[in-house]
Amino acid sequence: MVPLAYYLVLSGILFACGVTGFLIKRNIISIFLSIELMLNGVNLSFVAFAAQWKAFSGQVFVFFVMVVAAAEAAVGLAIIISVYRTRETLNVDRVNLLKL
Amino acid sequence: MLHLILFSIFGLICIAGALNLLVQRHPINSALSLVVVMGSLAAEYLLLGAEFVAAIQVIVYAGAVMVLFIFVIMLLNAGEEERTRGSRVALLFGVPGMLIGSLLVAWVLLEHSGTHAVPPGALPGPPQTIGWLLFHDYLLPFEITSVLVLIAIMGAVVLASPPQSIQRSKKEG
């Protein structure tokens, strides 16, 4: 028997790791991976709440999150490819065309 | 008891993978440690009784999405990232602030949430029930999601195709 709170703390840790990676990483692909990590942390809390309240809606929402994540990955990686084609770098510090 | 042991083992693997993602400098290592995180999360879903979600997690997330990532990393021949010096304000206030905040959240969740323990396999999640929900109660979101995926496919094709090919097709069209 595992309390629900343990699952929530684990999901919080994963989300915090994702936020930290999003802030400290300088490679655009690593930033993208951190976003995926955050989405995974949220999915875990959805499933844990679904098991707690015996509601299947939580599991259905996980599917929607996964679909949105897959669409986001496809579009985001296409953007990364097109950025790399024009700037020839993956470092976000060098992608500063909109900076003053 | 066995449930708690399994939860701890897979939770520790999960956290170790997440930390490894942060520490590694090469994106391919980060991507592979994210695969580890997703695999152990699938095990956690199995412990919660969500078998179908666990299968989808392995097939779609750890399979399809991560293959896409690794494909792009290898296509662009991404090297090690250059570290920049972090700001001192972030070190002085950010790290202690984050520690205090996360400890506070964990304390509130563990002591004052008033939630019961989740027995193993509490929610037998047969795919029929989920499919019924998906195609009855959540039919409209499901259809909207299909439009979203269609737009994403078209956007990916347009964004990833080289600029010359788009101009040529404009002239022809």
Q: Tell me if B7 sits within 8 A of B44, measured CB to CB.
A: yes
Q: Which residue of B has its CA nearest to A82?
A: B160
Chain A positions in Cβ-Cβ contact with residue B65 (cut-off 8 Å): 36, 69-70, 73
Identify the CA nearest to A77 among candidates A29, A23, A38: A29
Is A70 contained in some domain? yes
Is A98 contained in some domain? no
pLDDT at B165: 66
Chain A positions in Cβ-Cβ contact with residue B76 (cut-off 8 Å): 29, 80-81, 84, 90
Chain A positions in Cβ-Cβ contact with residue B9 (cut-off 8 Å): none
Give me the CATH topology for the region B1-81.
Answer: Four Helix Bundle (Hemerythrin (Met), subunit A) (1.20.120)
Q: B52-94: per-residue pLDDT in tens?
A: 889 999 999 888 899 999 999 998 887 777 777 767 777 788 7
Number of domains in chain A: 1
Asked if A89 is an interface residue toward chain B (Cβ–Cβ < 8 A), one would say: no
B7 with A2: Cβ contact below 8 A: yes
Residue B105, Cβ density class (10 Å: 0-12 exposed, 13-18 middle, ≥19 buried): middle
Side chain identity at B88, as an amino acid letter?
A: R
pLDDT at A25: 86
Entry pTM: 0.86
Is A10 contained in some domain? yes
Neighbour tally for B26: CB within 10 Å: 15
Tokens representing B2 are: 């066995």
Domain residue spans of chain B: 1-81, 138-173
How confident is the model over B4-23, as a mean pLDDT? 92
Neighbour tally for B45: CB within 10 Å: 26
Asked if A29 is an interface residue toward chain B (Cβ–Cβ < 8 A), one would say: yes
The nearest CA of chain B is from the CA of A100 a distance in Å of 20
Distance CA A7, CA B15 (A): 12
Q: Tell me if A73 sits within 8 A of B38, measured CB to CB.
A: no
A46: CATH:
1.10.287.3510
The ipTM is 0.91
Chain B positions in Cβ-Cβ contact with residue A82 (cut-off 8 Å): 159-160
Per-residue pLDDT tens, chain A, 100 aa: give them: 778 888 989 999 999 999 989 988 888 899 999 999 999 999 999 998 888 888 888 889 999 999 999 999 999 999 999 888 888 888 888 888 777 7
Q: B-contacting residues of A 37-56, CB under 8 Å?
A: 37, 40, 43-44, 47-48, 50-52, 54, 56
Tokens representing B109 are: 């969740």
Domain encompassing residue A71: 4-91
Q: Which residue of B has its CA nearest to A3?
A: B117
Task: Indicate the pLDDT class of residue B173, thresholds 50, 70 and 90.
Answer: low
